[in-house]
């Protein structure tokens, strides 16, 4: 009897650890990587360098177009009315001259080389205004055909620069039916799921799924092709990442004396605790790691694009720009050194015609999700939602443009077939920075939860 009691006591810590729902571990589905490898790589090697880069002027100023853009799918009541929903745009003198003066981007050096009179003078005078406009439209159409998300027109008179450091992503109080409608539309109408299959959602929300519904859902999901499974997991991972941000930067104290932001363990539990989410929380966290692998792979594959001598992080401060380009290249080389990358060649393989149609279906579905971001009623949530969906869309664009990236010209005497605008570059790095931050915050929540036990 005493021996049995001793064995039971020795098992208690193990039981407590197993109930730490955010302590996800082991291999990830559809990948050769494991959670522990990602944690170590991100938290100790990547995260600190990435945060330094994102604080630089080139990456902190995001040209956001018209936060009041009309929702194309349903009528939105307007701004949520909460003071923390507001976005503070920059005044012109707050933005570095090299960023605000024009649509100056990574092609600035190439444009200057190509537009010398002796190179293009004869060509320019031989083209009519109609022909030049047609060429620009063809080029724009080619760019759009490769995009997985809507990229707003930076030259629009409604465009404005936003300092991301002064408008951090955090809990604004925006929740309820309108916020629910955004995610419900994304999952129900854009994740290739028939309406007859009910997805598992958060209990005590607007719909509570039973265990049988969850079983049917995952049985359906496992029966899908790897591309459609990956699409759902990317959306779920993005949703999980955003929820971690809101839980880690929560308004804890809103008094006359101070406003204090910090970790809200109760909010985190509500979104991810296995018992409070009918077992869904840990699955969402695993999808976050899957999303990390996808975007990390995109950064690694984009290295040749950024390595070109003609590429510049142009802000008008040459020494600072050069230093930050070196840091960017170091981060991308670090991304390339990761030992267990996601193998994107497993996607859209097989019959070329069927694979092409499937890729286009996925592209259009994600394009639609990026449009849904214009239906978010909270301006700050809309800002970060648009940035993160654009960043993920840019990652997908990179992953499936391998041939164009490999064919990039080494000199600046011709226009490259693969291009990224400054807006895409800023969203790409900041979106990955948000995922990297989420994984780092999981470590903080594990510590806070262990203190509670």
- Per-residue pLDDT tens over the stretch 205-263: 545 455 677 888 999 999 999 889 999 999 999 999 999 999 999 999 888 888 899 99
Q: How far is CA 222 from CA 25, 214, 233, 286, in A?
A: 20, 12, 12, 15
Residue 225 has φ and ψ, to the nearest 5°, of -65, 160
26 has a pLDDT exceeding 70:
no
Picking from 19-33, 105-119, 236-250, 271-285, which range would have the lowest pLDDT averaged per residue?
105-119
Q: What pLDDT is stored for residue 300 in this prediction?
A: 95
DSSP class of residue 413 equals S
438: confidence class by pLDDT, cuts 50, 70, 90? very high
- Residue 353's pLDDT is 85
Handedness of CA 274, 280, 282, 284 (dihedral sign): negative
DSSP string, 97-121: HHHHSSS--TTHHHHHHHT-HHHHH
Q: Give the bridge partners for 328, in sequence order.
A: none
Select from 186, 190, 238, 167 the least CA-distant residue to 373: 186
pLDDT above 60 (res 116): no
Q: How far is CA 280 from CA 21, 180, 209, 225, 272, in A?
A: 10, 17, 10, 22, 7
- Average of pLDDT values for 391-412? 85
pLDDT for 359 equals 87
Summarize the confidence of residues 358-372 as an average pLDDT: 90
Reading the block at residue 170, the tokens are 């955090």
> For residues 28 and 159, which has the higher predicted lDDT (pLDDT)?
159
The neighbour count for residue 415, using CB atoms within 10 Å, is: 12
Q: Is it the case that residue 119 has pLDDT exceeding 50?
A: no
- pTM (2 decimals)? 0.84
Backbone φ, ψ for residue 159 (5° rounding): -70, 150
**Residue whose C-alpha is closest to residue 184's, from 64, 74, 69:** 74
- Nearest of 164, 190, 227, 177 to residue 388 by alpha carbon: 164
What pLDDT is stored for residue 153 in this prediction?
63
Inform me whether the pLDDT recorded for 411 exceeds 80: no
Render pLDDT for 72-102 as a digit per residue (tens, 0 to 9): 888 876 556 678 888 988 988 889 988 887 5
- Cα distance between the two ends of the chain: 27
pLDDT score recorded for residue 200: 83
379 strand-pairing partners: none
Give pLDDT, residue 306: 95
Under 8 Å between Cβ of 297 and 341: yes
Best mean pLDDT range from 20-34, 149-163, 218-232: 218-232
Phi and psi at residue 352, to the nearest 5°:
-65, -40
Measure the CA angle with vertex 341, ends 337 and 343; round to 5°: 140
Q: 251 in helix, strand or coil?
A: strand
User: 133-142, 175-184, 356-365: which range is least confident on average?
Assistant: 133-142
Q: What percent of the chain has pLDDT over 70?
A: 76
- 51 vs 47: CA distance, rounded Å: 6
Q: What is the mean pLDDT of the chain?
A: 80
Q: Which span out of 144-148, 315-319, 427-431 was modeled with the highest average pLDDT?
A: 427-431
- Percentage of residues in the chain having pLDDT higher than 90: 44
Tell me what the mean pLDDT of segment 355-373 comes to: 89
CB 443 within 8 A of CB 60: no
Q: Is it the case that residue 114 has pLDDT exceeding 90?
A: no
Mean pLDDT, residues 19-24: 56
Question: ∠157-159-163 over CA atoms, to 5°?
Answer: 150
Residue reference for tokens 């594990």: 446
How much is the pLDDT for 125? 41
């Amino acid at each position: 009897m005493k021996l049995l009691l001793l064995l039971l006591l020795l098992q208690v810590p193990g039981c407590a650890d197993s109930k730490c729902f955010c302590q996800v571990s082991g291999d990830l589905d559809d990948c050769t990587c494991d959670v522990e490898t990602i944690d170590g790589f991100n938290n100790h090697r990547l995260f600190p360098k990435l945060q330094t880069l994102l604080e630089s002027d080139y990456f902190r100023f995001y040209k956001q177009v018209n936060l009041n853009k009309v929702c194309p799918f349903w009528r939105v009541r307007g701004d949520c009315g909460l003071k923390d929903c507001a976005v503070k745009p920059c005044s012109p003198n707050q933005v570095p001259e090299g960023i605000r003066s024009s649509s100056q981007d990574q092609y600035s050096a190439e444009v200057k080389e190509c537009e010398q009179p002796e190179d293009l003078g004869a060509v320019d005078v031989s083209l009519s205004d109609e022909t030049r406009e047609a060429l620009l439209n063809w080029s724009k159409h080619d760019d759009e055909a490769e995009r997985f998300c809507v990229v707003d027109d930076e030259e629009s008179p409604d465009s404005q620069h936003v300092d991301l450091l002064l408008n951090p992503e955090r809990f604004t109080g925006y929740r309820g039916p309108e916020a629910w409608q955004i995610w419900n539309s994304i999952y129900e109408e854009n994740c290739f799921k028939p309406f007859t299959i009910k997805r598992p959602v958060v209990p005590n929300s607007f719909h509570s799924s039973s265990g049988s519904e969850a079983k049917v859902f995952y049985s359906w999901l496992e029966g899908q092709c790897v591309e459609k499974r990956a699409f759902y997991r990317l959306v779920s991972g993005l949703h999980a990442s955003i929820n971690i941000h809101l839980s880690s930067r929560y308004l804890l104290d809103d008094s006359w004396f101070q406003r204090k932001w910090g970790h809200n363990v109760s909010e985190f539990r509500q979104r991810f605790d296995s018992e409070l989410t009918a077992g869904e929380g840990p699955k969402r966290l695993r999808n976050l790691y899957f999303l990390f692998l996808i975007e990390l792979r995109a950064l690694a594959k984009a290295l040749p694009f950024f390595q070109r001598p003609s590429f510049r992080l142009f802000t008008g401060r040459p020494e600072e720009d050069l230093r930050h380009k070196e840091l960017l290249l170091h981060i991308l080389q670090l991304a390339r050194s990761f030992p267990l990358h996601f193998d994107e060649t497993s996607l859209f393989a097989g019959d070329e015609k069927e694979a092409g149609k499937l890729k286009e279906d996925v592209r259009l579905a994600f394009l639609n999700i990026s449009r849904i971001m214009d239906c978010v009623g909270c301006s700050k949530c809309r800002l970060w939602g648009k940035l993160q969906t654009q960043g993920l869309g840019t990652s997908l664009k990179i992953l499936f443009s391998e041939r164009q990236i490999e064919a990039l010209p080494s000199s600046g005497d011709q226009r490259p077939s693969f291009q990224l605008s400054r807006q895409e570059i800023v969203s790409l790095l900041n979106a990955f920075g948000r995922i990297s931050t989420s994984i780092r915050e999981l470590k903080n929540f594990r510590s806070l939860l262990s203190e509670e036990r």
